[in-house]
Amino acid sequence: MYDKNMRLIIILSCVTITLNVLAHGYHNDEERSVFFIAPLTGETVSNPIKITFGAKGVNIVPAGVDLPMSGHHHLLINIDKLPNLKLPIPADSNHLHFGNGQTEAEINLPPGKHTLQLLLGNHLHVPHSPPIISDRIEITVR
């Protein structure tokens, strides 16, 4: 006869260990980043502008998927002052959500200089703590 409680404890231990491995698989904050693969800062581009998002140390998943160290990209356009990083990222023409887990996008911007920045949001569109955010790049649209 087996001990039901012991069996439950063993199962729970395995689940806990697995979750810990998933949660701490990326142990160093330095290894988590998002960045622009294209365009690069200082580039002059034409519409439609193809933007390629890079990510390191995090899994890019659709919004609503709650997994450790994962999230989806948000493109901040011409944002000088970051939104409150404890709240869901706003959704408007200056804060674009890529909630299907996209890693590239095509956008159109008026001619002139613009800044772009990437900010990762979790399953609820809330930035991580500490936030996973790219450098702010400047491009010129011809």
* Residues in touch with Cu ion (CB under 5 A): 97, 121, 125
Rounded least distance, CB 1 to Cu ion, Å: 52
Q: How far is the CB of 89 from Cu ion (least distance, A)?
A: 6
CB of 95 to Cu ion, least distance (A): 8
Nearer to Cu ion, 45 or 123 (CB): 123
| Residue 17 φ/ψ region, left for φ over 0, alpha for ψ in the -120 to 50 degree band, beta for the rest | alpha
β pairing state of 137-141 and 44-45: parallel
Nearer to Cu ion, 68 or 101 (CB): 101
Question: Cα separation of 113 and 7, whole Å?
Answer: 63
Q: Among residues 70 and 141, whose Cβ is nearest to Cu ion?
A: 70
Single-letter amino acid code for the residue at 86: K
**Least distance from C-beta 105 to Cu ion, angstroms?**
13
63 vs 137, which CB is nearer to Cu ion? 63
The contacts of residue 127 (CB under 8 Å, 6+ apart) are 85, 86, 89, 119, 120, 121, 133
